[in-house]
Amino acid sequence: MSDPDSGRAPQANGASVAERRKGKSSRRGKRKRGSPARPNAFSAEANQTGTSGPVATRPIDNDTGSPGKKRKRRRRSRGGAQDGAQHASTNQQQASTAPEQRPAAGPSHKNGKNRRKHRSKRGLQGRPLVHEKTAQIVAPVAPVTAEQAPVRNDHHNDRHPPAQRRDGHALHQHADGEYRPVDLYAALDLGTNNCRLLIAQPTRPGQFRVVDAFSRIVRLGEGLGASGRLSSDAMDRAVEALRVCAGKLKTREIRRMRLIATEACRAAENGETFLTRVTEETGLRLEIIDRETEARLAVSGCSSLVGPEARSVVLFDIGGGSSEIAVIRIGENRSSRLANHITHWTSLPVGVVTLSERHGGRDVTPELFETMVREVEGMLERFDCPPVQGAARDSGDFHLIGTSGTVTTLAGVHLDLPRYDRRRVDGVWLSDDEVTAMQAKLLSWDFAGRAANPCIGPDRADLVLAGCAILEAIRRRWPSPRMRVADRGLREGLLTDMMADDGVWRRGRSRRGHRPRDMKGPQT
């Protein structure tokens, strides 16, 4: 048998072919005893002779000395010997600089046993093939990259999916060509029953992402119907809630904000005095809006919930001290601002708080419920509005939109939610029969039963039936086969109008002047 190295003498510490056959078991014993392993892909002799290591260490069979196979091995070894040393040094550098990226590259191929095990996974020139586990190396790099690039992202970068960051809105290119974080907008609504805050940033055209939110029942209008004034306890509850809102606003860079107060401050004799106290104690300057503005804001906040096939819509917002109703007619040319399609509107001086205080909200009988409905119907009779086209129980191009705690409560009870979930309630459709069934169900419960429901709770248990009475009067005036529920309202309308006025959905082109983006804290 001819030597695979074409007769070249072995090294002094090497062995002949016969000796290697004899000493096969002894070499295994040396490896078990921890003898040093040879390089990964090439032996020391191969680097000198130009022959690959695995060929020199295998037992030679009868046809290994054929000239064709020897020439083939020599061609392979020429390319491997030239970059073998460089490949080995590169492996050592990678292992020393990034051991966490290649945890198994070194030890898995150092000994002969693993080398034979992975022999089938080697490509040309002895390089290991790429394993399917390579993708795991990229996994720990992702959070590091996000942390190392805070200049191009805003301070809520960890809450952004990548698709939103690439859509051109999460980072806004200003006139100077620099990219800065997207501006934040804030809207606060102090109503008769609730104090609500929303902080958001614009995303796709007509949409925004909520960054922070706050809502608390304060019952500012408690006792207002009887005394005509805001009580001390009610004002204290509202001021405490507004302090929380002020703290949230001061910790963020707000480009533009609008803080409004509605019916309770509008109707109370001491409404202006109360707002002065709010400014002194919290730094927030609230404005009292009129009823028409309130109706338009409610429509703006729910514009995305109008069905594409709808030609007429009646939108209502049942508040704590007033209820706004807007009649919307949509022609062939639909405006991006739904408020432009309002043809008639009204604001009823009745809400869930005022109506329940007049008639009682704890123990409501069917007769008392009907009395409340008739009272609201009398107010609607004074609303001079022609019949709405398509307002019939079998019409498909007309529907109602309700935005209030009353309709969201009905939807939550209808869905039998274990706890209130805005994502499942907002935008849900209720048929006329389903609304009737939910109202009858709530009317059959006593106060304790309503308070025990997770979608109502003790804070709304004495108000929900008064809201249902207002809803029933609206349904009798404008019968519709279906109603869409909106868990949104004035805050969303404020945000939508501010963002549209600033032109943030028009590739950064602003139609109006706006306040500097570094404005913090209360509005002045």
- In 424-519, which ranges are E strands? 429-431, 482-485
Which residue do the tokens 């991006």 mark? 336
pLDDT at position 156: 35
What number of CA atoms fall less than 13 Å from residue 72's CA on the CB side?
8
Give the N- to C-terminal CA distance of the chain in Å, as an integer. 99
Residue of 149, 157, 213, 148 lying closest to 182 (CA atoms): 157
- 228 torsion bin: left (phi>0), alpha (psi -120 to 50), beta (else): left
Spatial CB neighbours of 333, under 8 Å, sequence gap ≥ 6: none
* CB atoms closer than 10 angstroms to residue 138: 10
Residue 200 and residue 211 in contact, taking contact as beta carbons nearer than 8 Å = yes
And the tokens for 387? 């019949």
pLDDT at position 511: 44
Residue 468 and residue 369 in contact, taking contact as beta carbons nearer than 8 Å = yes
Dihedral angle computed from the Cα positions of residues 267, 268, 270 and 273, in that order, rounded to the nearest 10 degrees: -50
pTM of the full predicted structure? Answer: 0.62
Which residue do the tokens 């040396």 mark? 30
pLDDT at position 114: 56
What number of CA atoms fall less than 13 Å from residue 417's CA on the CB side?
19
Distance CA 42, CA 54 (A): 7
Per DSSP, what are the bridge partners of residue 197? 188, 214
pLDDT at position 390: 61
What residue spans of 262-401 are helical by DSSP H?
263-267, 271-282, 291-301, 352-359, 366-381
Query: What is the gyration radius of the CA atoms in the chain, in angstroms?
Result: 38
pLDDT at position 163: 40
pLDDT at position 73: 78
Residue 114 and residue 54 in contact, taking contact as beta carbons nearer than 8 Å = no
pLDDT at position 237: 97
And the tokens for 167? 């859509």
Residue of 35, 1, 32 lying closest to 17 (CA atoms): 1
And the tokens for 484? 């869409």
Full 3-state SS string of 166-178 = CCCCCEEECCCCC
What residue spans of 364-404 are helical by DSSP H?
366-381
* CB atoms closer than 10 angstroms to residue 347: 21
Residue of 317, 360, 364, 346 lying closest to 470 (CA atoms): 317
Amino acid letter, residue 324: E
Range 1-8, long-range pairs (CB < 8 A, 24+ positions)? 1/60, 1/62, 1/65, 2/65, 3/65, 4/51, 4/55, 4/56, 4/60, 4/64, 4/65, 4/70, 4/73, 5/49, 5/51, 5/56, 6/70, 8/49
pLDDT means per 10 residues, the chain with 524 residues, are 46 45 49 48 40 44 63 71 51 46 45 53 41 33 34 34 40 46 87 94 89 94 92 96 96 94 94 96 96 92 84 93 93 76 93 93 94 96 84 73 93 94 93 95 95 94 96 95 93 92 71 41 39
Residue 474 and residue 316 in contact, taking contact as beta carbons nearer than 8 Å = yes
